Every structure is written in C-alpha cells, then in structure tokens.
Amino acid sequence: MAAWLSRRALSGNSSCRLPLYLFSEGHVCSRGVGRTFSALQDKLQTVEDLPRVSSLEMIYRFIFQGYYYCLHELQIYEKKLYGPIYKNGRKAVSVTTPQLLEELMRKDEKFPSRGDMSLWTEYRELRGLGYGPFTEEGERWYNMRVVLNKRMLHPRDSAQYSRVINEVVTDFIKGIKQLRQASPTGDLVPDISSRFYLFSLEGIASILFETRLGCLRNEIPAGTEEFINSIAQMFSSSLPVAIFPKWSRNLLPYWGRYIASWDGIFSFGKILIDKKMEEIQQRVENNQTVEGEYLTYLLSNTKMSTKDVYASVTELLLAGVDTTSNTLTWALYQLSKNPEIQDRLYEEVSTLVPADRIPTAAEVTGMPFLRAVIKETLRMYPVVSINSRIITEQPVSLGGYRFPKKTVFTLCHYAISHDENTFPEPFRFKPERWLRDGRQRPNPFGSIPFGYGVRGCVGRRIAELEMYLVLFRLIREFEIKARANMDELKIVSRAVLVPDKQLDLHFVDR
C-alpha cells in the first residue's frame, strides 16, 4: 500500500487495501445451479440442502471468468444462480438480500465476531504486540470498544473535531487550487483519488495524534511516505499470506515483505504516540494542565494499557484512510456525471450557510441532500462490499434453514445494496431515494455501509463528518465537471472498491 499511496500520489495508479476480515471466506458454489430458489426453498431445510459452490467452481470463476478483481460482481452473478442464501466454497453461508441480512443481524451476539483474523494476529503475536478493535475478540474486545467509542462514536463527540477537520479541508482546497493552476486548462485536477487519499490520512492522523502530519504540503514528509508505502505493501502481500501454505513462507519473498510492512506501520504509529507521551510527561513535570483530544484521552485511560493503545491507534489509522478517500472519489465522479444532482446539492450548500462562513458540524449534518449524496454513494460503492459474522453461542435459523453454531455467514453487501426490489434502478445514482420527503424509504438493511450493532464501524461519525465538510466546501466553491470524453469508471474489487482508472476532474470557479 505504501507503494500504492506514493504511486497514487505521485503518479496516479489506482489500487487499495483495508481490513482483512474481507479475506476470511471464499465465495462460489456448485449444486443447485439451474434450479429456482423458490423450488429449493420448498424442499430444503438443513444446511446440507443448500446450493453449494465447490472449490473448483470458485477457482474457475476467479481465473477463467475473470471475477478475481470483480468479487462484487460475483456476488450478483451467484445471487442470480443460487438465490438469497447458499453455501460458498469455503464452508461459509452467503446471504444476499436485505431481508435475510436483517434477520441475521438481529441475532448478533453480545460480542459479535467476524471470524478468523489470524492473518493480522499472527504478526502481533510474533512481535509481542497488543490487539486493536479489529483483531481483539470477546469480552476484551467489548471493553476496548467501550473506551474507543467515547469521544468518537457519538455525533456530539465527533463534532469536537470539526475545527481540526475544517483546517485540513482548507489546506486540501489550497492544494486543489495549486494543482488547477498548474494544469494546461487552468482548472483540471489530475488523479483526484490520490489527493483524497492524502486528505483522509491527514484528517484521521490529526484527530488521532492531535498533530498535523503535513501530507497536504507540496513535499510529503519522509516518514509519512514510508508509512504509506508500508500500508500498500501490507495489503498487497496479504493475499499470498492468506492463500499460500505456511511452509512456503521461508521459500518465497511474500512473508518477509508482509512482516516488514507491518513493522513499518506499527513503528510509524509508535513514533507519534511516543512523542505525545513525552509531551504529556513534560506538562505533568511542569505542573501544567494536560489537555488534548483522542490520544491523550486514550493514554490517560486506566482501562487501556499502552500496548493496547499502540495497537488500537494503528488499526484506527489503517481503517480511516481508504474508506473515506474512495467514497469521496466515487461521490465526485457521480456528481460530475449528474450535473442536475450537483446543482441541487449546490443549492442546498449555498443557501443554508452564509457564503463567507465555514460550516459547523451541526450545519452539515443537518443538510438532507448532502447526507443523501453520501448515503447513495455508499450504497452504490459500499467500501466494505463483503463482511462476515459467526454466531458462536447456539444454532441459528435463517431463511427457513437451520445452521449449527459457529457457522460463518458471508454478508454480500454489494449484492444486497443493488437489490432491485429494494432499490429500483440499482445502478443509477439517485440520492433522492434517501430523502424523508414523504416517499417510502428503502429497507434500512438494504444499505448498512458502516456495518451493524455494537461491532459496527467505530469511525462512522468521524468519517461522515470528514466527508460532509469537504464535500460541502468543494461544491460551494467549484463546479465539478468530468473531463471531455472521459471513459466510464469501472469498479475494481480490492480490499475496498476502487476505480479502474485515474479520475481527472475540472474544478471550475462558481
């Protein structure tokens, strides 16, 4: 990923990464093809009766049908073949409709689990490091979330960060203006997703470390670039780690790269955390008050060891970059293609806040159309397009079938949020679906981009605030236009959904 960001930032290639619960199951099946689901439902009652994908079919579809980089499309393809529920190639059960997702999510346990995270925990064990919210499980996970949620998950808490996010937005817009000036037409910004990547990294780091990294300056600080490269490398070497047998680790280079990348990620976090700890120590020694936001709060919390803080902050940092940056890229892409929707958004942002004022958190979160634009973007391009849950405590019934405890369920969010019955014209960008203006609103489980329940995304409010604040300022200041003859962007399914090519946009002064 390291290579990725620097590649993206400097040259403009697309790629990505993110949490590896996404790799925890396979997807593809064999029996039952050709039969309709309703016929199956009449006959089948146990897990053994479900349509099933074989490993061979999975491999065939990945390699010969080309689904390896389009796993999101594979979800829709298989839903057509097997219906709303089927057993996939890795003994997990795929769920593909909002109704079944709701039924399952409502059975979420006290300590919900996404399943095997050994891909990440192995490194932590090897280095004697702690676990963060992604990797921790059970009661320890729960206690950690109680601490992490505070100052982050409630809209009131995230609003505290609006000043710092707005500062980052101001720098981001300055950078956009510089790039425009340097372009032949005076308004073209090349590779907007690499800019959003830097924006998201700067934003989340300024919240977590209470420090500006300087990613939006002309020269990216050296340590930052190495960190970016480490994340890229960690994600790109994750797949071989997941699929190759352990004995090959000493023979092939991927394992060494994987470990080195995690070393780079953790050491970056450690340097910033240690710096903060020294500052706090200094202030305590000088009898000064210790003030600060998130990291200071975590470090002073007696329920979290320093080891937990290192691991948690590092995992938060990892989760906070590709997610918001890709969503913003897709949002601008859709707005550039749909000028009438952009006009409607402009009308909202230009009338609800005076032109010379930077908006507050309360103002942007109160804007229905701005929110609807982000919600629709996340429906069409769910960052986490596939997720999972294991019900560990007891057998569970779902969709008329009975499953033994410890069954792994694969949640096919892309197929679910493109369900035609829930979202007519599912491939069209229609933010108005989400407005509370008297129309019938879609089933809420049709699109749950931040997950569900107590294990849902801890960064949700921060992410929303970042996206609202930057989108507001961009649309108020510029008309965003697609480049002439721009090709349609296609989705590539990496750890998150990324565009298949660079997106260059015109930022025309309003």
Does the protein bind ligand HEM through residue 457 (CB under 6 A)?
yes
Single out the residue of 301, 456, 476, 508 in contact with ligand HEM (rule: CB under 6 A): 456
* Residue 373 CB, nearest approach to ligand HEM (Å): 13
* Residue 145 CB, nearest approach to ligand HEM (Å): 5
- What is the C-alpha separation between 497 and 18, in angstroms, rounded? 10
* Residue 198 CB, nearest approach to ligand HEM (Å): 15
Single out the residue of 117, 220, 341, 462 in contact with ligand HEM (rule: CB under 6 A): 462
Does the protein bind ligand HEM through residue 471 (CB under 6 A)?
no
Single out the residue of 463, 475, 491, 498 in contact with ligand HEM (rule: CB under 6 A): 463
Scan residues 233-292 and list those touching ligand HEM (CB under 6 A): none
* Residue 391 CB, nearest approach to ligand HEM (Å): 14
- Alpha helix (H) residue ranges in 22-110: 37-43, 55-59, 71-82, 98-105
Tokens of 167: 């500062």
* Cα diameter, the chain: 76
Q: Which is nearer to ligand HEM, 87 or 413 (CB)?
A: 413
DSSP track, 136-191: --HHHHHHHHHHHHTTTTSHHHHHTTHHHHHHHHHHHHHHHHHHHHHSTTSSEES-
Q: Measure the CA angle with vertex 389, ends 384 and 393; round to 5°.
A: 165
* Residue 324 CB, nearest approach to ligand HEM (Å): 5
* Residue 498 CB, nearest approach to ligand HEM (Å): 13
Calculate the alpha carbon distances from 238 to 18, 24, 259 in Å: 10, 11, 10
Q: Which is nearer to ligand HEM, 320 or 499 (CB)?
A: 320
- What is the C-alpha separation between 193 and 113, in angstroms, rounded? 32
Single out the residue of 459, 468, 479, 492 in contact with ligand HEM (rule: CB under 6 A): 459
Give kind and range of the element (H or E) at residue 2: helix 2-10
Does the protein bind ligand HEM through residue 114 (CB under 6 A)?
yes
Single out the residue of 213, 259, 265, 384 in contact with ligand HEM (rule: CB under 6 A): 384
* Residue 298 CB, nearest approach to ligand HEM (Å): 12
Does the protein bind ligand HEM through residue 204 (CB under 6 A)?
yes
- What is the C-alpha separation between 16 and 7, in angstroms, rounded? 11
Cα-Cα end-to-end distance for the chain: 36
Does the protein bind ligand HEM through residue 115 (CB under 6 A)?
no
Does the protein bind ligand HEM through residue 196 (CB under 6 A)?
no
Name the segment binding ligand HEM (CB under 6 A); options: 121-129, 225-233, 449-457, 472-480. 449-457
Q: Which is nearer to ligand HEM, 384 or 492 (CB)?
A: 384
Tokens of 386: 């596939």
Does the protein bind ligand HEM through residue 431 (CB under 6 A)?
no
Does the protein bind ligand HEM through residue 133 (CB under 6 A)?
yes
Beta-ladder partners of 396 = 403
User: 291: buried, middle or exposed (CB in 10 Å: 19+, 13-18, 0-12)?
Assistant: exposed
Q: Which is nearer to ligand HEM, 26 or 451 (CB)?
A: 451
412 annotated as belonging to a binding site for a ligand: no
Q: Which is nearer to ligand HEM, 145 or 151 (CB)?
A: 145
Tokens of 303: 């329920």
- Residue 127, Cα to own-chain centre: how many angstroms? 27
Q: Which of 63, 19, 456 is nearest to 242 (CA)?
A: 19
Single out the residue of 84, 89, 449, 499 in contact with ligand HEM (rule: CB under 6 A): 449
Q: What's at 100, amino acid-wise?
A: L
* Residue 152 CB, nearest approach to ligand HEM (Å): 7
Report whether 470 contacts 327 (CB < 8 A).
no
- What is the C-alpha separation between 319 and 92, in angstroms, rounded? 25
- Alpha helix (H) residue ranges in 209-360: 222-243, 254-285, 294-299, 306-319, 322-337, 339-352
Q: Which is nearer to ligand HEM, 86 or 414 (CB)?
A: 414
Tokens of 425: 């014209």
Scan residues 295-334 and list those touching ligand HEM (CB under 6 A): 315-316, 319-320, 323-324, 327
Single out the residue of 27, 151, 195, 455 in contact with ligand HEM (rule: CB under 6 A): 455
Give kind and range of the element (H or E) at residue 8: helix 2-10
Residues in touch with ligand HEM (CB under 6 A): 114, 133-134, 145, 204, 315-316, 319-320, 323-324, 327, 378, 383-384, 387, 449-452, 455-459, 462-463
Annotated binding site for heme: 457
